[in-house]
Chain A
């Protein structure tokens, strides 16, 4: 027995690990049997022999097993990683810091700019954080944790259905469902970063801080971006809070007026606020008619979606955008597969349709603004898809000045941007006379009768489930929809949603702004149905990126699969135009900042409010500041300091500089007045709107 022990000891010394290997243990048993006949003296030699013998089997693959090597590799990697990590942390903090480009903040500080006017930031849709205040059992432990934005979205992967349930609103009221309270994250943290490392307002905040801004003169007007604007007041008093904050900052900063910086949907939210605050109490804030003139110096709209965005249409209609349809084209079946029973899109659509705010982004102004079947203000826009979006910009920079020349080459395949949704490519290009007309009466005829066919699918998720096959096909039958008929279409496919949302938003053009009906809040966020307040000293800026193809209209098809609860339409990503056409993957593109077309962002400042118009009776000065998109030149730049895309533009140094100068007291003329790269003026001229 002693030899056995000794033997074990030896094997331990040699390689601690091998002892556990199966092959070896059997060996040991054999040896035990032998050893019974051996005497203790010979044990030593024998052990050595065994040692030698044992070496041979060690050559066999058995010994170094897969698991061992895995462990070894992982251990090796971990050790190296830790070592590097340790070294990294040991280094003095300043050594490793990437030499950041000195932002405009530093430069302007050297120029002697200091904080003057308090600044209010108004975040847009999606970018604001939402946190949970009360939830169902499945959301246990998430109290005051972010459900949306800010932190990582890990919870979404952990319990996706639970999250979707909590982020949805009540389908009838557009407010909280019973027992669920999700609220906007207040303060600057509400929207400084959307996800770790993905800044929204952070760069702007940091630069403003360089010239002396801090908590007392910088305010983030966080609101729940899922709600309709008036509902944020009803549920959270968000508008009252904003009013009180602005008044406080005005007073506590030595009676300096406020510079508001809204972004994206925040622009129309703030427009709503400006009307709300001057309206008498039951419906409005009761600030009196001079409130804006007294408290607001300038409204600097970034990427403003004044007239809506076509993206909202595709989102509501089929819960997809350009990106999604590309992915679908590349990997068909991933999203649509039933294997996992995920039905991601159906669920997403179900959630998104409870959000009133998306409806606020539907194109406003109807055919007058967005074009009808045969004409559109962007007519003759030249697209160049020869590039990936990188080379694109370099091309367009060269082409800034000779876009007129280029227009001459354009012969066929004119994009009919006016047809925001067409079913099939023919419908998108044929002349209007050859198309069946889409008229709303037709909708009403088909709708009511056959609604109740589809109940084999159980609980209806989206309102598509309540529609009959027949009416779904009727909608699609080779038709094209303009902005006006589009609303009818949406009312047809989602009557409840539109009924709910249209109590809060309107998408028309006012004939007569003095009509008392325009005192209702549903018109306040539509620049074409409200007057700007009487504040002749105020300034309105439209600041947006250009030079990125932006979704403008869509070619749809019927979805091939017809299982339960599926979305019956999808973007026809097989449709491509010829070279030079703006049609790609079923989407017509126009100039813009990737989300908002130039038309929507710039028209009000370029024409609708320019000078004294009926929408701008006091003649508030408007300025257009366009920023041409340039992709980041190197990886170090991150998302680029000259980007023009919808969110990344918040890191655009030129834009930040403009904002800082205005905040420090400059007027629009002092920062250079208009700065235009796109065709916005020409486009605006083509729009025939009584001013």
Chain B
């Protein structure tokens, strides 16, 4: 033991030892220190030690600070390892046991429950993931991305984002002219179920649904994840990766190998639009489409179970494109002003994010469609009269939503003008659309087009945009869904030129017009017909009871030149009109407003309409959001939030029943908590085939 003790000082730097010596011994002197040093170095010569000890008995190599630290760390490590060992040695079912002991027995997951009921795998299932949730991996990159071959750039741990952020941004961006790969970079979607089962470790997307389906017998041969590169425009996924062909081939294979049983398709979020595009593509003749023939869908698809589908776009996409921020970021900025904006580190995070995300065509697929007809004009909106009592507390919100009718019916005197998706200044947002407003509005259009010519090549967005242009935008005061598209054309003409080649945001007057054969209309439900498949079923499953962004109050950003010139005015609050931190909210699933998710199934496609000539049956299944009761539940089994709803037991049960063969009626038909039917009534959209003239208010 003593030898150990004596070895110790050698390992330590003599400095620290000195310090230790000096600290505790008041009658220490320089000599002693020197002596001690010698002792430390030549400890092998016993005579010296003896001599030293004789002189100064108290002198002794002692615990230095470093030693204590080391000892301390060692203790912690050992304890940690011990715990780790115990944890690993623990039977795997232990946590569940504990959970059950605390909260009482958990309800069976729907898979187990339905298996007991005797359900079995019947129809093959196709998952279509949404934007952002699918993994992307690197196949070819620049020097800076060396060693990342076939590693995930998106999804997974995102470790590389922190290690080499600029490199990462460069690889995630697309070419801003073509919307395809930049030269020398190939980033491709991960394929297979792993593509989107977990977004990040522990953050499930499809995993819970997959696990529950597996309980009743689904496996790889009956499930297929239609992973695609969600950054591309839909048609480009086919051009570059032949993704649509692959989906077609895989669906055909699934049907063939499962005894001719049609598939049940489960798209989520943007996947809903993607699959809408697919259904048109697959029946369109060969050069532009898949050449599957006019009855492909009716032969291969039993049901399309849309989860949280932004059929008519999401207002969030506007904020994302316009100023690279959403409610979350705006709130963060309000809490820590200057952190995101500061130039000291030259991070310019938001600018980089904006530059990257503006190269992604897919974000433009989410711009609100249908214009003022759907989203409301200056003075009206379909959600008119929506009261949002205490939207801050989700609990309250949901309780209120439970007693939906009575509470919602109460109309506040002051109602939010949801139609004005972007307003500059709170007063503008609230003011009745008097003549003054209107004049401002018209006048700005003139200035707008004039300014447009002066700042022509506005690729690096606002950086090149003149002050006049920015001012013109702000002078414009308030934007409705129609004028928003013009606004985006103005602030980012190249991006929109790229985007409008692939997407369209209008309402078709006459669906027989041959121009609607072009693929850019295929993902807009208001400009395409559903396929001729009368036996097919379309479901719209979405969460309600969460405040969802619907309109924004903007202001000019104080630093004008080198940053994004607009930002959400987080100071704008109004209890009465659902205005909070500059964002007007309505009912929805936190991302997609009810109107967008539900309108097509509630009205646009209900019965035989011109958008749905074969009368495909539609069902609305809403799920009221309830936050998780306790921490052990994780993200909740009753959640209605956009992504978390994938773990909602009621939704999973519905999906499994459909996959096992149930029809919409057997499921219980519509299940509605929100006022989607009322709101749909407010929308004045021509649905009969005969009169091909749509009227808007």
Q: Chain A residues in contact with chain B, CB under 8 A? A: 13-18, 52, 55-56, 58-59, 61-62, 64-66, 68-76, 78-79, 89, 93-94, 97, 133-134, 137, 140-141, 143-144, 158, 181, 183-184, 186-189, 192, 202, 205-206, 209-210, 212, 214-216, 236-237, 240-241, 244, 247-248, 251-252
Contacts and interface: CB of A to CB of B under 8 A. Distances in A.
Contact of A78 (B77, B150, B220): B77
Interface of B: 1-2, 4-5, 8, 11, 23-24, 57-58, 60, 62-63, 67-78, 88, 92-93, 139-140, 143-144, 146-147, 149-150, 163-164, 186, 188-189, 191-194, 197, 207, 210-211, 214-215, 219-221, 241-242, 245-246, 249-250, 252-253, 256-257
Given A55-B57, A244-B253, A133 B214 contact: yes
A189 B194 contact: yes
B582 to A, nearest CB: 39
Contact of B211 (A66, A79, A144, A205): A144
B249 A71 contact: no
B74 A75 contact: yes
Contacts of A140: 92-93
Given A66-B1, A94-B146, A252-B242, A72 B188 contact: no
A216 B71 contact: no
B210 to A, nearest CB: 7
Contact of A209 (B2, B140, B207, B249): B140
A206 B146 CA distance: 12
A58 B60 contact: yes
Contacts of A73: 74
A86 B220 CA distance: 41
Contacts of A13: 23-24
Contact of A75 (B69, B140, B164, B249): B69
A251 B163 CA distance: 41
B479 to A, nearest CB: 41
A183 B189 CA distance: 23
Contacts of A62: 1
Contacts of B214: 133-134, 143-144
A71 B71 contact: yes
A61 B5 CA distance: 9
Given A64-B1, A71-B78, A78 B73 contact: yes
B211 A143 contact: yes
B210 A189 contact: no
A17 B71 contact: yes
Given A70-B78, A75-B74, A144-B197, 7 more contacts: A93-B164, A133-B219, A183-B220, A186-B220, A188-B150, A215-B189, A241-B257
Contacts, number: 157
A14 B24 contact: yes
B75 A76 contact: no
A240 B256 contact: yes
15 contacts: A13-B23, A14-B24, A16-B63, A52-B57, A61-B2, A64-B1, A73-B74, A74-B73, A75-B74, A76-B74, A89-B163, A140-B92, A205-B150, A214-B188, A240-B257
B170 to A, nearest CB: 14
Contacts of B242: 216, 252
Contact of B63 (A17, A78, A137, A183): A17
B139 A237 contact: no
A93 B163 contact: yes
Contact of A79 (B2, B69, B194, B241): B69
A188 B253 CA distance: 20
A215 B92 CA distance: 36
B296 to A, nearest CB: 16
Contact of A237 (B58, B88, B221): B221
A120 B349 CA distance: 42
A236 B223 CA distance: 12
Given A93-B147, A143-B214, A248 B246 contact: yes
Nearest to A154: B88
B139 A59 contact: no
A56 B57 contact: yes
Contacts of A144: 193, 197, 207, 210-211, 214
A133 B121 CA distance: 14
Contacts of B221: 236-237, 241
Contacts of B24: 13-15
Nearest to A247: B249
B674 to A, nearest CB: 35
Contact of B74 (A64, A70, A93): A70
A681 to B, nearest CB: 40
B245 A189 contact: no
A97 B36 CA distance: 45
Contacts of A56: 57
A622 B648 CA distance: 58
B230 to A, nearest CB: 15
B245 A252 contact: yes
A181 B253 contact: no
B245 A251 contact: yes
A134 B2 CA distance: 59
A592 B407 CA distance: 81
A158 B77 contact: no
Closest CB pairs A-B (n = 9)? A75-B74, A61-B1, A71-B74, A75-B70, A75-B73, A74-B74, A252-B242, A237-B257, A248-B249
A52 B194 contact: no
B179 to A, nearest CB: 18
Contacts of A79: 69-70, 73
Nearest to B256: A240
B62 A244 contact: no
A72 B246 contact: no
Contacts of A244: 249-250, 252-253, 256
B141 to A, nearest CB: 10
Given A187-B194, A216-B246, A209 B88 contact: no
A158 B85 CA distance: 12
Nearest to A192: B150
Contacts of B245: 248, 251-252
Nearest to B89: A158
Contacts of A61: 1-2
A214 B92 contact: no
A240 to B, nearest CB: 5
A15 B62 contact: yes
A307 to B, nearest CB: 32
Nearest to B219: A133
Nearest to B160: A93
Nearest to B3: A61
A214 B219 contact: no
Contacts of B186: 214
A163 to B, nearest CB: 13
A263 to B, nearest CB: 19
B429 to A, nearest CB: 47
Contacts of B149: 206, 209
A663 to B, nearest CB: 16
A451 B121 CA distance: 43
Contacts of A58: 60
Contacts of A188: 150
Given A52-B58, A215-B189, A75 B256 contact: no
A366 to B, nearest CB: 37
Residue among A62, A140, A187 with max Cβ neighbours from chain B (10 Å): A187
B219 A55 contact: no
A18 B75 CA distance: 15
B400 to A, nearest CB: 38
A218 to B, nearest CB: 10
A668 to B, nearest CB: 28
B191 A215 contact: yes
Contacts of B220: 133, 183-184, 186, 236
Nearest to A18: B63
Contact of B4 (A64, A236, A240): A64
B637 to A, nearest CB: 17
B8 to A, nearest CB: 8
B143 A94 contact: yes
A75 B73 CA distance: 5
